Structure 1
Amino acid sequence: MPPSSDRFANTRSSRQPSGNKPGGQEGHQGTTLRQVPNPDHRVLHRVTECKGCGHSLEHVAPLQVDIRQVFDLPVVRMEVTQHEREVRSCPECHLVQQAEFPFYVTNHVQYGPAITSLVLYWNHAQLIPCERVTEMVKALTDHSMSAGTVVNMTRRWQPVVEAAIKEIETALLTSSTLHVDETSLRVNGKNQWVHVASTAKTTRYGLHRSRGKKATDDIGILPRYKGTMVHDAYSVYPMYTEASHALCHAHHLRELRAYTDLYGHSWSKEMTEALLGMKQAVENADGALPEEEVRYWETVYDKLLANGRRELEERGVRNAQNFIQHLEKRKQEALLFLRKKFHLTTTRPSAICGW
Structure 2
Amino acid sequence: MELTPQQVLDICKGDEEIAAKFNALLALNLKLTETVAAQARRIETLEKRIHELERQLGQNSNNSSKPPSSDGLRKPPVNLRKSGGKKGAPKGHPGHTLHQAVHPDHIVTLPVGKACEHCCSSLQDATFVGYEKRQVFDLPVPKLEITELRAEQWRCSCCNRVTQASFPADVTAPVQYGKGFSAWTVYLNARHMIPLERIRELFADLTNQYLSEGTLLSFMRRMHSKLSTVESFIRKRIAESPVLHADETGCRVEGKTNWLHTHSTPEWTLLNVHEKRGFKAFSEVGILLHYPGIVVHDCHSSYFKEIYRFIHALCGVHLMRECIGIIQNDHQRWAAHMLRLLLASWNLVKEARAQDRPLEPDTIRRIERLYDTILQRGESEWHQGKVRPKTGTRGRKCKSPAANLGERFQMHKESILRFLYDARVPFDNNQAERDLRMTKVKQKVSGSFRTWEGAHQFARAHGFISTLRKQGLPVLPSLFAILQGNFAFPQGT
Q: TM-score, normalised by structure 2?
A: 0.60
Cα displacement string for residues 149-184 of structure 1 (whole angstroms, at most 9, x for unaligned residues): 111112222221111211121122111112111222
What is the correspondence of 1:120-135 to structure 2 with a 5 Å cutoff? 120-135=186-201
Deviation larger for 310-319 or 107-116: 310-319
Contact 1:199 1:347 in 2 (8 A): yes
Q: 1:175 to 1:91 in 2, by over 3 A?
A: farther
C-alpha distance in structure 2 between counterparts of 1:314 and 1:235, whole Å: 25
Which of 333, 347, 351 is residue 431 of structure 2 equivalent to? 347
C-alpha distance in structure 1 between counterparts of 2:220 and 2:181, whole Å: 12
The secondary structure found in structure 2 opposite 1:126 is coil
Deviation larger for 83-92 or 131-140: 83-92
Q: 1:351 to 1:119 in 2, by over 3 A?
A: closer
- The residue number in structure 2 matching 1:332 is 414
Q: Does 1:276 align with 2:358?
A: no
Q: Does 1:185 align with 2:251?
A: yes
Contact 1:87 1:98 in 2 (8 A): yes
Which of 33, 56, 61 is residue 98 of structure 2 equivalent to? 33
Deviation larger for 90-99 or 165-174: 90-99
* Structure 1 residue 199 displacement after superposition: 1.3
Larger radius of gyration: 2
Deviation larger for 145-154 or 262-271: 262-271
Cα displacement string for residues 85-113 of structure 1 (whole angstroms, at most 9, x for unaligned residues): 45669999999977654454444433222
The answer for unaligned runs of 5 or more in structure 2 is 1-54, 63-77, 388-399, 438-493
- The residue number in structure 1 matching 2:107 is 42
Q: 1:281 to 1:19 in 2, by over 3 A?
A: closer
The secondary structure found in structure 2 opposite 1:348 is helix
Q: Does 1:246 align with 2:313?
A: yes
How many equivalent pairs are there?
Answer: 349
Deviation larger for 153-162 or 278-287: 278-287
What is the correspondence of 1:41-190 to structure 2 with a 5 Å cutoff? 41-48=106-113, 67-86=133-152, 101-102=167-168, 104-190=170-256
The secondary structure found in structure 2 opposite 1:15 is coil
Which letter does structure 1 place at the counterpart of 2:267? K
Cα displacement string for residues 112-151 of structure 1 (whole angstroms, at most 9, x for unaligned residues): 2233211221122222111211211111122232221111
Tell me: higher relative CO, structure 1 or 2? Use CA pairs within 8 A at least 6 residues apart. 2
* Structure 1 residue 245 displacement after superposition: 1.7
* Structure 1 residue 58 displacement after superposition: 7.8
* Structure 1 residue 321 displacement after superposition: 2.2
More helix by share: 2
Deviation larger for 311-320 or 197-206: 311-320
C-alpha distance in structure 1 between counterparts of 2:278 and 2:106, whole Å: 59
Contact 1:47 1:58 in 2 (8 A): no
Deviation larger for 144-153 or 328-337: 328-337
Q: 1:347 to 1:189 in 2, by over 3 A?
A: same
* Structure 1 residue 320 displacement after superposition: 1.8
Which letter does structure 2 place at the counterpart of 1:332? E
Which letter does structure 1 place at the counterpart of 2:414? Q
Contact 1:178 1:229 in 2 (8 A): yes
Q: 1:215 to 1:28 in 2, by over 3 A?
A: closer
Q: 1:177 to 1:95 in 2, by over 3 A?
A: farther
C-alpha distance in structure 2 between counterparts of 1:273 and 1:68, whole Å: 55
Cα displacement string for residues 291-336 of structure 1 (whole angstroms, at most 9, x for unaligned residues): 6654443222111212323555799996522211111011222223
Aligned Cα RMSD in Å? Answer: 4.0
The secondary structure found in structure 1 opposite 2:301 is coil
C-alpha distance in structure 2 between counterparts of 1:336 and 1:87, whole Å: 71
Which letter does structure 2 place at the counterpart of 1:117? A
